[in-house]
């Protein structure tokens, strides 16, 4: 019992709390994850228009990068959340519809 208690206490003391990530570090991690999700969606032609399409008025990914360059990491993180969501949903949609084809008159 004493050995078990000693090991438990030693184990609890061995863990050190990690330092919370700064907004810039959060942005950099989120940007990498979002870019990977966008590339995955693009690989199956599932990239949605507003992620980075040139003719889109929103362009979430480039807008997030510009916001971060201006130092507004909170805005950048919000935009990256939207872009990552759209990338993941675009990938799922493309995969769900990959075998879809013209079904004319039951043929």
Domain locations along the chain = 21-96
**Which segment of 9-13, 59-63, 65-69, 91-95 scores lowest on mean pLDDT?**
9-13
Does this model's pTM top 0.85? My answer is: no
List, as one string, the DSSP characters of the chain.
Answer: -HHHHHHHHHHHHH--PPPPPPHHHHHHHHHHHHHHHHHHHHHTT---HHHH-TT-S--HHHHHHHHHHTT-HHHHHHHHHHHHHHHHHHHHHHHHTTT----GGG-
As a whole number of angstroms, the distance between CA 51 and CA 18 comes to: 33
pLDDT mean across residues, the chain: 85
């Amino acid at each position: 019992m004493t050995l078990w208690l000693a090991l438990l206490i030693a184990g609890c003391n061995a863990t050190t709390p990690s330092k919370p990530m700064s907004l810039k570090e959060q942005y950099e991690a989120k940007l990498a994850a979002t870019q990977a999700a966008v590339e995955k969606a693009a690989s199956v032609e599932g990239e949605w228009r507003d992620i980075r399409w040139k003719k889109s008025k929103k362009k979430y990914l480039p807008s997030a990068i510009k916001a971060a360059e201006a130092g507004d990491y909170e805005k950048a993180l919000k935009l990256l959340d939207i872009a990552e969501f759209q990338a993941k949903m675009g990938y799922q949609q493309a995969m769900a519809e990959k075998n879809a084809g013209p079904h004319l008159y039951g043929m």
